[in-house]
Amino acid sequence: MHQRFLEGRTALVTGSAQGIGLGIARALGSAGARVAVHGLATPLEAEAALAAVRAAGAAEARFFDQDLRRPEAIDAMMDDLAAWGGPDILVNNAGIQKTVSLAEADRATWDAVLAINLSAAFHTMRRALPGMAARGYGRVINTASVHGLVASANKAPYVSAKFGLIGLSKVAALEYATAGSAASGGVTINCICPGWVETALIEPQIQARAAENGGDRLAGIAGLLSEKQPSRRISSPDEIGQVVLWLAHPIAHNITGIALPVDGGWTAQ
């Protein structure tokens, strides 16, 4: 693939101040895209994320901090992005999770998890997809998680949102299947479904397992993953970014409506 195939394109990656989202933003920037980095971050964290995306090769990078629980804030963000011509690549990556039993989950938890993990994607897609269709090229890539394919106890709001995100993506894929052409790249809507990914969020769990294995970090990771992920190998945010980058390439014009596991065999069981 041509390394700078996204020059002249604009990408919005929600939840990209750190972790998986930042890995995706860096990957898209490496191909020459203008990147809208988004998240709830301190000024120093925001500047660090922008610096990382620019260092990867992004033509330009800007930071957005809109609260995705508020549809009007999402509309304001999409209005601002229209100054760049509107997003050609939209990655709905922002998400929150709370582990709680169905009986103990309260309305506030349900509403917050659904708002950020599912409704926000609806609001961004509704605004972005018509412009993509008009230009003949567009990519929506939604981060759905393995929990969009299989359930786990004590995660009712999160699992419901991720299953819903895959359903939303399939509907959009059907509605925009004829937009564009092979030459222009078409408009595709897909989900990626990562299993365990090495982020700051799970680092304490890795360290704890490593301590149980004499300080051996790889053994700690294997132990942590052993119950769910047969490969016992963890993915990095940059590896997830490369998956997204491949889906963004014009050669992927006929890959649409899929939910792609990146899970070391978790959902093959």
Do 99 and 203 reside in the same domain of the chain? no
Q: Which of 64, 158, 196, 266 is catalytic?
A: 158
| Count of structural domains within the chain | 2
Residues 51 and 113 in one domain: yes
How confident is residue 115, by pLDDT bands cut at 50, 70 and 90?
A: very high
- Phi/psi of residue 248, nearest 5 degrees: -80, -15
Please say if the pLDDT value at position 224 is more than 90.
no
Contact yes or no for 233/263 (Cβ under 8 A):
no
61-111 tens-digit pLDDT: 999 999 999 999 999 999 999 989 899 999 999 999 998 999 999 999 999
Q: How buried is residue 245: exposed, middle or buried, by Cβ count under 10 Å (0-12/13-18/19+)?
A: buried
Distance CA 57, CA 34 (A): 9
Q: What is the pTM of this model?
A: 0.94
* Residue whose structure tokens are 């393995």: 146
pLDDT tens-digit readout, 117-162: 999 999 999 999 999 999 999 999 999 999 999 999 999 999 999 9
The answer to whether residues 247 and 181 belong to one domain is: yes
* Residue 1 reports pLDDT greater than 80: no
Residue 102 shares a structural domain with residue 169: yes
Confidence of residue 227 (pLDDT cuts 50, 70, 90): confident
Is residue 2 in a domain?
no
Same domain, 120 and 248: yes
Pairing of strands 34-38, 10-13: parallel
What amino acid is encoded at 37 in this protein?
Answer: V
Determine, yes or no, domain membership for 5: no
Residue 4 lies in a domain: no
Q: What is the dihedral of CA 235, 249, 94, 52, to 10 degrees?
A: 70
Which pair of structure tokens corresponds to residue 187? 């408009």
In a domain, 3, yes or no: no
Judgement on whether residues 50 and 173 belong to the same structural domain of the protein:
yes
For residue 202, the model assigns a pLDDT of 76
| Least-confidence region, from 4-18, 45-59, 216-230 | 216-230
Domain containing 188: what range? 10-197+235-268
Residue 1 lies in a domain: no
pLDDT (tens digit, 9 = 90+) per residue, 195-223? 999 987 778 788 888 898 899 998 888 88
Written as one string, the DSSP assignment of the chain is --TTTTTT-EEEETT-SSHHHHHHHHHHHHTT-EEEEE-S--HHHHHHHHHHHHHHT-SEEEEE---TT-HHHHHHHHHHHGGGT--SEEEE-------B-TTT--HHHHHHHHIIIIIHHHHHHHHHHHHHHHHTEEEEEEE--GGGTS--TTBHHHHHHHHHHHHHHHHHHHHTTTSS-TTTTEEEEEEEEE-SB--TTTHHHHHHHHHHTTT-HHHHHHHHHTTT-TT--PBPHHHHHHHHHHHHSGGGTT--S-EEEESTTGGG-
Residues 90, 25, single domain; the answer is yes
Q: Is residue 152 domain-shared with residue 227, that is, in the same domain?
A: no
> Domain of 24: which CATH number?
3.40.50.720
| Residues facing residue 216 across a β-bridge | none
pLDDT tens-digit map of 236-252 = 999 999 999 999 999 99
User: What is the spatial distance between Cα 256 and Cα 71, in angstroms, rounded to a whole number?
Assistant: 26
Residues 144 and 229 in one domain: no
Q: Do residues 207 and 193 share a domain?
A: no
Sheet holding 186-194, edge to edge: 60-64, 34-38, 10-13, 89-92, 137-143, 186-194, 259-262
**Is the model's pLDDT at 34 over the cut of 80?**
yes
Residue 252 lies in a domain: yes
Residue in the structure block whose two tokens are 């993915």: 235
Q: Is residue 20 part of a domain?
A: yes
* Residues 91, 216 within the same domain: no
For the question of residue 158 being annotated catalytic, the response is yes
CA distance 144 to 148: 6
Same domain as 157, residue 53 = yes
Q: Which residue has the tokens 């700690």?
A: 220
